[in-house]
Amino acid sequence: MTKVEEVEGTLNFHLKELNLAPTGYLAEQLESKGFLPEIRVQDFPIRGKKVYYHTLRQRWRVISSGEMISRDWALVAKGSGTPSYE
């Protein structure tokens, strides 16, 4: 978590994924390639205030193959609805 702010009755949590290799690539040599565009996910209100998570997700290049990878973030359990991405 890099920052928490309240703006006009809305709580904004800013999250930044750590530079740790995703499962399945621990033995691979990876090169950090920065971050994917920020996503904003709305969550349940806290004490009557809207809640948003602003998330920066890490991406890497597998040096041996050149493949670009990122961690798969399953933000909603299957069948429970669709998150609000902006």
Distance of CA 37 to the CA centre of its chain: 9
Question: Does the pLDDT at position 28 exceed 90?
Answer: yes
The mean of the pLDDT values for the chain is 87
Decide if 41 contacts 56 (C-beta within 8 A): no
35-49 tens-digit pLDDT: 999 989 888 899 999
Contacts of residue 54, Cβ cutoff 8 Å, sequence gap at least 6: 12, 13, 14, 15, 38, 39, 40
pLDDT of residue 73: 73
Q: Which of 2-6, 9-13, 43-47, 78-82 has the lowest mean pLDDT?
A: 78-82
Q: Which of 1-15, 17-31, 32-46, 66-80 has the lowest mean pLDDT?
A: 66-80
